[in-house]
Amino acid sequence: MTTNTRFIGLGILASLTALVARLRRSRSGSERFFKDQHFHYETLRVVAHTPYGGAEIGEVFSIVGKIREGNTEDWYREWYAMAKFVEHKADSINDPRGKGLALMRAQNYYRNSEFYLSPTDPRRDDTFANSARTYRDSLNQLGIEFHEFPVPYEGSQLNAIYYPSRADGAGNRPLLIAHGGYDSTLEELYFWFVAPALERGYSILTFSGPGQDSVIRHQGIPFTHEWERPTTAAIDAYVSRFGQPETIVLLGLSLGGLLAPRAAAFEKRIDGVVAFDAMYSFQDTLFTNMPTPAQPVVRWLYDNDHSRALNLVVQLKARVDVGAAWGVSNGQWVMNFQGHGEIFNAFEPYHLEGIAELIQSDVLLLWGEDDHFVDDDQLTRTQVGLENARSVTTKSYSAYEGGKEHAQTGILTSVHADIFDWIHQRFPRTESS
């Protein structure tokens, strides 16, 4: 065999080896629904609700298989079509539980279908109304007791739903109060908080505050960083109807992981607070979501009041990043600002600097090791700031266990086990009967 022939043979062997390796890799599964992180996360968010009736995996795969990467019109059309299909299917089901679960999925698919629509798109009214309607129909079919009532708030109103537990000893357990963040709805809170609470015999109150779902849509009230105001209003409205609970644990989701601790700093009736996830500065999420080389430049532009250049930078990012485009559009609506660069000013008051030190309740901080919204420094600053809290517990979740995402989306039953373990430990009278 000549030297050239030997080299050719080795080359062919190397190519075949590489091809086999690629084929083996191609037969491996995937941990993503989309390459785009935002599309992937918002799909995972729906799938995460499966344990509580919020999705069927097969339906979700049917939906995402028809959506092109980054195409928000595809997103609306396919999630909406499945919501309609499932709701229509519910009409033909006589079994109350089967009907109720179908309606519960429909409300979640409706919610997700409108996610990327412009705030001025008239289709948002239809999808939101359908989500709200199918949710309440679902609760009735499933036999879940709920009491919906308005919360008087500074000349207008917020909205709340109370779910009483009839389990033995429920009256001796803390009242749980839960709210969402930058984009969650009152209906979606069922999966994050209500279902696991009722399964364990806890009564729970959920409310929509300024800037959130029905409040921004129907009352036109934008967000406030002074979250103690709507929280106090919700507690007062509850007390006027159902009496003063002995113990209150407040749970906040996503941006609510900053808002709930802020409320606990000033509303002293709150005995425990869960930050799901921890967040110290909402504005800092804007900087850390810029490409790494651009972060110091963007921060310099902001610190030195170069608003025109900052506006251009945000515009450019929004053109190529569906998540950034959504973040700005949603912010203009729920926080009532104009332009693109103004998002930095709008987010600035949402922080715990000088606030965390005022918190005296028990605190549980949840954390994902690869949160695409919030960096590790925010957890550290929160922990350091909670110097006067009665206790501080941190639960971190790894990529291996599937908990790296924002709000541990994808392993909710594991996270709920940790939350309720913490409640049992911090408030042992919950075991009374």
Domains and CATH numbers, the chain: 37-136 (1.20.1440.110), 145-281+350-431 (3.40.50.1820), 284-347 (no CATH)
CB of 85 closer than 8 Å to CB of 78: no
What is the C-alpha R_g of the chain? 24
Kindly give the pairing relationship between strand 204-208 and strand 248-253.
Answer: unpaired
Segment 60-84 mean pLDDT: 97
% the chain with pLDDT above 70: 92
The answer to whether 363 and 272 are in contact (CB under 8 A) is yes
pLDDT tens readout for residues 327-370: 999 999 999 999 999 999 999 999 999 999 999 999 999 999 88
d(CA 383, CA 411): 24
pLDDT value of residue 367: 94
Higher pLDDT pick, 249 / 2 = 249
Residue entry with tokens 């919906």: 148
The 8-class DSSP code of residue 281 comes to B
pTM comes to 0.91
Report which secondary-structure segment, H or E, holds 33.
Answer: none
- How is the beta sheet containing 248-253 ordered, strand by strand? 147-153, 156-163, 204-208, 175-179, 248-253, 272-276, 362-368, 391-397
Give me the count of residues in the chain: 433
Q: What is the predicted pLDDT for the residue at 293?
A: 87
3-state class (DSSP) for residue 95: coil
Sign of CA dihedral 421, 422, 423, 426: positive
The single-letter code of the amino acid at 344 is F
Range from 97-106, 204-213, 305-314 carrying the lowest mean pLDDT: 305-314
Instruction: State how far the Cα of 165 lies from the Cα of 147, in Å rounded to an integer.
Output: 12
Say if CB 343 and CB 325 are below 8 A apart.
no
**How many whole angstroms separate alpha carbon 429 and alpha carbon 423?**
10
Cβ contact 178:205 at 8 Å = yes
Nearest to 112 by CA among 214, 65, 42, 180: 42
Q: Are 188 and 128 in contact, with CB atoms under 8 Å apart?
A: no
Q: What percent of the chain has pLDDT over 90?
A: 85
Q: What angle do CA 134, 138, 139 make, to 5 degrees?
A: 125
Burial level of 293, CB count in 10 A (0-12/13-18/19+)? exposed
Q: Regarding beta strands 147-153 and 156-163, do their DSSP bridges make them parallel or antiparallel, or are they unpaired?
A: antiparallel
Mean predicted confidence (pLDDT) in 110-125: 96
CB of 162 closer than 8 Å to CB of 240: no
